[in-house]
Amino acid sequence: MASSEGPVVDRTPVVFIHGAWLRASSWESWAERFTRHGFRTFAPGWPGEGLEAGPPVAPDVLGGVGLDVLTDHYAAVVRALDTSPVLIGHSVGALVAQHLVGAEVGRAAVAIAPAPVGGVALPAEAARVWAPPAHAAESLVSLTARRFRQVVANAVEAAESDRLFARHAMPAPRRLLADLAAPSASALPDTGNAARGPLLLISGQEDRLVPDSVTRTVYKAYGDCPAVTDLKQFADRGHSLVLDSCWPCVADYVLTWLDAHGIRAQATHTSTRTR
């Protein structure tokens, strides 16, 4: 028979979703910090990615990842959890996090430097990175260490940029980049859902890949929605703000924001067991 066991205290899950040209290891410091604060943390990679630095374990699989596939991948991760998680995404991962929380898959979301979609105006340098030549045959698009320094880690010293590149860089699927230019309606965030959980948008004001102006444009798109939507801008930070030496100030701001909106590391829910 089924019997209610009453309130059960569980640790709130946090799902980290990484972005283009980075791997899941870019969240390792965040996962450690959030775990120390009592959260359960998950940083699943993209299909075909692999766990260690170096080439993807299944480049043919990774090369076939588009925006819909990526969104479905993380939706499955979230739905497999027994408690609705906080979603924290960076770049393309921030776009996925917005989509999921807008579909009420996840209790809150943090979107850091959300990837541009649907022809959002970009400076020429950033536009060239997001839209590589269509005639190239390779299914994966890589950044060189020099290009990584120019557009991802431009706000840190060259030595730090090189360390970040060696540890965390990964090619991006060409199909995914094409989808960002012409996304399907099913992959776009629902900016008008008043029933969704709180959303925090974060930008780095020196970001060359997703300029602060792009994140502000995203923020304005939520202007008519009564659900909580906040914006935080970090001065002197580039696109690498989630993994370079200044990541703690960003992570601590997110922890404070979650707490301010009543999202604590300990979640209470009702457990019903069959016996």
CATH label of the domain that carries residue 119: 3.40.50.1820
- Please indicate, yes or no, if residue 121 is contained in any of the structural domains: yes
Average pLDDT over residues 34-54: 91
- Please indicate, yes or no, if residue 268 is contained in any of the structural domains: no
Residue 21 has a pLDDT of 96
Determine the Cα–Cα distance for residues 237 and 40; give it in Å rounded to an integer.
28
- Please indicate, yes or no, if residue 53 is contained in any of the structural domains: yes
Average pLDDT over residues 155-178: 96
In the predicted model, what is the mean pLDDT of the chain? 91
Determine the Cα–Cα distance for residues 148 and 154; give it in Å rounded to an integer.
8
- Please indicate, yes or no, if residue 265 is contained in any of the structural domains: no
- Please indicate, yes or no, if residue 274 is contained in any of the structural domains: no
Q: Where in the chain does DSSP place strands (E)?
A: 2-11, 13-17, 40-42, 86-90, 108-112, 140-141, 172-173, 199-204, 229-234, 266-274
Read off φ and ψ for residue 105, nearest 5 degrees: -105, 95
Residue 79 above 70 pLDDT? yes
Average pLDDT over residues 207-234: 96
Residue 28 above 60 pLDDT? yes
CA angle 86, 163, 40 (to 5 degrees): 20
Residue 274 has a pLDDT of 35
Under the banding of pLDDT at 50, 70 and 90, the label for residue 275 is very low
Residue 121 has a pLDDT of 80
Tokens of 155: 């706000």
Under the banding of pLDDT at 50, 70 and 90, the label for residue 95 is very high
- Please indicate, yes or no, if residue 272 is contained in any of the structural domains: no
In this structure, is the dihedral angle defined by the CA atoms of residues 137, 138, 141 and 147, taken in order, positive or negative?
negative
DSSP 27: G
Average pLDDT over residues 18-41: 97
3-class DSSP assignment, residue 11: strand
Residue 3 above 80 pLDDT? no
Instruction: Tell me the pTM.
Output: 0.92
Residue 273 has a pLDDT of 37
Average pLDDT over residues 162-170: 96
227, 193 contact by CB (below 8 A): yes
Average pLDDT over residues 41-58: 86
Which of the pair, 269 or 73, is modelled with greater confidence? 73
Average pLDDT over residues 182-197: 90
179, 207 contact by CB (below 8 A): no
DSSP 45: -
Domain that holds residue 256: 12-260
- CB count, 10 Å around CB of 10? 15
Residue 180 above 60 pLDDT? yes
Determine the Cα–Cα distance for residues 96 and 262; give it in Å rounded to an integer.
23
Could you read off the pLDDT of 224-266 as tens digits, one per residue?
999 999 999 999 999 999 999 999 999 999 999 999 999 999 8
The percent of residues in the chain predicted with pLDDT above 70, rounded, is 92
Q: Provide the number of structural domains found in the chain.
A: 1
Residue 185 has a pLDDT of 83
- Please indicate, yes or no, if residue 106 is contained in any of the structural domains: yes
- Please indicate, yes or no, if residue 267 is contained in any of the structural domains: no
DSSP 185: G
